[in-house]
Amino acid sequence: MKGLLLFIGWCLLFVLSWPLALLALVLAPWVWLLSLPLRLLGMAVGAVFALVRAVLFLPARLLGWRG
């Protein structure tokens, strides 16, 4: 469904302004490639927060608390 809405939006943009639609079609893979390092950074930060949370809750889990 998301892909269909994206396609319909692109077709509408193509009807309204075809140079802008073609530019968006060409630049979309480049934007995706540029966002990959930011996604990896986000995953790394999430993993660090999960590790800190696990370390902070370790004493409670050793004493038998279940959350």
Domain ranges of the chain: 2-62
pLDDT band of residue 50 (cuts 50, 70, 90) is very high
Q: Which of 40, 37, 7 lies closest to 24 in space, CA to CA?
A: 7
Q: What is the pLDDT of residue 64?
A: 86
Per-residue pLDDT for 67 more than 70?
no
For residue 61, the model assigns a pLDDT of 87
**pLDDT score of 47 more than 90:** yes
